[in-house]
Structure 1
Amino acid sequence: MLTVNKTDLVRHHVPVTMADRFAFRLVGGLSTVASVLFSKRYGNRAVVLETVAAVPAMVSATLLHLRCLRRMVDDHGWIRTLMVEAENQRAHLMSFVAIARPSGWQRFLIVLAQGAFYNSYFLLHLLSPRTAYRVAGYMSEQAIQGYTRYLEDLESGVQTDIEAPAFAIDYWHLSPQAKISEMLVSMRADEAIHRDIQHAFADALVAGKLLPDLPATDLDAGSSIGLDEKRLDAS
């Protein structure tokens, strides 16, 4: 089990190269557009963003799988880790869908956003894997900030801290009386791990390596950087 503390939540990869700055500005622009379109209801904004957020890990897993096949090398469990991340992001989406049912117009936007982002990200990953991983890392950084703001609104009473959906309670093994705030704490901890994984892949490519160094967590034991158990403590 991994622990996500306050330092982990504010960790930020400072853009150094031109590719880093491109990735950072791209994610910032996407976040601004989402905020303008869905500023009144965070749940609706999250539904759209999570349909896009689940794309990078799936694309990365597919291309890493093919690359390892071409080079005939072991992936050391990283493909599975990326697949777990994609599944985890989908769980985020399903939790928000249970709170904010998307309208027909929003579903149309989701189709457009996902189609455009998937193809663009796939092409970016082919042209510059390092930049693609960095984009995904910055997306997780934005998600952490968004969940933190949402939690602050719940704590201040700006938004009502209603009961968490049954799906979220089951997925994160929350108490039966869990509130949305508890669900968000778990999601924010997940995103901190996604951020570190994606930035680690970008850093590895900068260093001329195919894969990041293996973490202390045993990937082959079924933990996949702690995401399989979904039990992360946030303090």
Structure 2
Amino acid sequence: MHLLTFLELRKPGWIFREFILWSQGVFFNTFFVTYLISPKICHRFVGFLEEEAVITYTRCIRDLDAGKLPKWSQTPAPNIAKAYWKLSDDAMLRDVLLAIRADEAIHRQVNHKLADVGPNAPNPFLDQEKGERHPPNENKQREIDTYSK
């Protein structure tokens, strides 16, 4: 959804879109083979990738708040983002960046946790007795600004 949101904002031409498609195809196949060899490495890689994403979004939000990105401060949230994250009708790009950063923080935590547990371990995000999922709650995600650490 993150990619679709930014594609909606940028509205790139067909060459750019083809490059994205080709890149995703190469990455998917490489990641698939690597996951067959070592899921732990893949989860750790994605965890680190998501950490960098949180840092990047934090910097973007900080620059936006500091007035360094005036065009972004005037940009309304795309409809696709409003629908997906249930943002208000008057949501702006800053609201989208906050929602995406929160997503990335959850992905970071989940992937690092999955890299820590063994392949036969029970799902740490599933209540084994009830069969209910328990993703990281909002309180665990309050500390998503890793940029200052």
TM range (shorter): 0.7 to 0.9
Distance 1:170 1:212 in 2: 30
Distance 1:198 1:110, change over 3 A: same
1:165 matched to 2:78? The reply is yes
Which one of 112, 121, 137 corresponds to residue 210 of structure 1? 121
In the superposition, the TM-score normalised over structure 1's length comes to: 0.52
Amino acid at match of 1:213: P
Q: Match for residue 146 of structure 1?
A: 56
Distance 1:220 1:101, change over 3 A: farther
CA RMSD in angstroms, aligned pairs only: 2.9
Aligned-partner SS, 1:157: coil
Q: Which runs of 5+ in 2 are unaligned?
A: 144-149
CA contact 2:47–2:108 (8 Å) conserved in 1:
yes
Q: Number of aligned pairs?
A: 138
Aligned-partner SS, 2:117: helix
Q: Match for residue 147 of structure 2?
A: none
Q: Match for residue 101 of structure 2?
A: 188
1:179 matched to 2:92? The reply is yes
CA offsets 1:122-176 (integer angstroms, 9 cap, x no match): 1100111110111111121121112112112211222221111112112212121
Amino acid at match of 1:101: K
Aligned-partner SS, 2:63: helix
TM-superposed CA distance for 1:178, in Å, is 0.9
CA contact 1:186–1:234 (8 Å) conserved in 2:
no
Identity within the alignment, %: 32
Amino acid at match of 2:5: S
Q: Which runs of 5+ in 1 are unaligned?
A: 1-90
Aligned-partner SS, 1:184: helix
TM-superposed CA distance for 1:233, in Å, is 7.8
